[in-house]
Amino acid sequence: MGGNRAVVYSKPGIVEVRNTDYPELVLKDGPGVNPLNVGRKCEHGVILKVITTNICGSDQHMVRGRTTAPSGLILGHEITGEVIEVGRDVEFIKKGDLVSVPFNIACGRCRSCKERNTNVCLNVNPDRPGSAYGYVDMGGWVGGQSEYVMVPYADFQLLKFPDKEKAMEKILDLTMLSDIFPTGYHGAVSAGVRPGSTVYVAGAGPVGLAAAHSAQLLGAAVVIVGDLNAERLAQARSFGCETVNLREHPNLSEQIDQILGVPEVDCAIDCVGFEASGHGKDHGEAPATVLNSIMEITRAGGRLGIPGLYVTGDPGAVDEDSKVGTLKIRIGLGWAKSHTLVTGQTPVMQYNRDLMMAILSGRAQIAKAVNATLISLDAAPQAYQDFDRGVSRKFVIDPHGLVK
With H, G, I as helix, E, B as strand and everything else as coil, classify residue 382. helix
Pairwise CA distance, residues 52 & 401, whole Å? 9
In a domain? residue 39: yes
Pairwise CA distance, residues 388 & 255, whole Å? 27
Same domain, 201 and 146: no
Facing residues of 14 across strands?
A: 11
Range of the domain at 207: 180-343
Task: Identify the weakest region by mean pLDDT among 101-105, 141-145, 280-284, 289-293.
Answer: 280-284
In a domain? residue 84: yes
Over residues 228-241, the mean pLDDT reads 98
Over residues 339-354, the mean pLDDT reads 97
Pairwise CA distance, residues 175 & 170, whole Å? 9
CA distance readout (Å), 375 to 97, 112, 353, 366: 23, 36, 26, 18
DSSP 279-339: SSSS--B-TTHHHHHHHHHEEEEEEEEE-S---S--TT-SSHHHHTT-----HHHHHHTT-
Query: H-helix or E-strand containing 48?
Result: strand 46-54
pLDDT at 130 over 90: yes
In a domain? residue 404: no
**pLDDT band per the 50, 70, 90 thresholds, residue 391:** very high
Pairwise CA distance, residues 131 & 93, whole Å? 22
In a domain? residue 402: no
| Nearest to 6, CA basis, from 76, 102, 103 | 76
User: What's the domain count of the chain?
Assistant: 2
Same domain, 289 and 227: yes
Same domain, 371 and 225: no
Residues 346-381: b if buried by 16+ CB within 10 A, e if exposed: bbbbbbbeebbebbbeeebebbebbbbbbbebebbb
Same domain, 92 and 153: yes
> Rg of the Cα trace of the chain?
20
Same domain, 161 and 191: no
**pLDDT band per the 50, 70, 90 thresholds, residue 316:** confident
Domain-terminating residue out of 343, 359, 381: 343
Q: What is the pLDDT of residues 237-246, one digit of tens each?
A: 999 999 999 9
Over residues 383-397, the mean pLDDT reads 96
Pairwise CA distance, residues 390 & 83, whole Å? 34
Same domain, 159 and 301: no
Same domain, 185 and 334: yes
pLDDT at 1 over 80: no
Residue percentage of the chain with pLDDT more than 90: 93
Over residues 369-384, the mean pLDDT reads 98
Same domain, 332 and 362: no
pLDDT at 283 over 90: no
In a domain? residue 403: no
Q: Name the pTM for this structure.
A: 0.96
Same domain, 310 and 234: yes
List of residues 6+ apart from 230 with CB closer than 8 A: 245, 247
pLDDT at 205 over 80: yes
Over residues 352-381, the mean pLDDT reads 98
Describe the strand order of the beta sheet including 298-306 as a list of residue ranges. 242-245, 222-227, 198-202, 265-270, 298-306, 340-343
Same domain, 218 and 339: yes
**Average pLDDT value over all residues in the chain:** 96
Q: What is the pLDDT of residues 19-46, one digit of tens each?
A: 999 999 999 999 999 999 999 999 999 9
Query: Do 347 and 103 touch, CB atoms closer than 8 A?
Result: no
Query: Do 61 and 275 touch, CB atoms closer than 8 A?
Result: yes
In a domain? residue 294: yes
**pLDDT band per the 50, 70, 90 thresholds, residue 314:** confident
Number of Cβ within a 10 Å radius of residue 384:
23
Same domain, 366 and 227: no
Number of Cβ within a 10 Å radius of residue 159:
19
In a domain? residue 391: yes
pLDDT at 235 over 70: yes
Q: What CATH number corresponds to the domain at position 230?
A: 3.40.50.720
Same domain, 236 and 185: yes
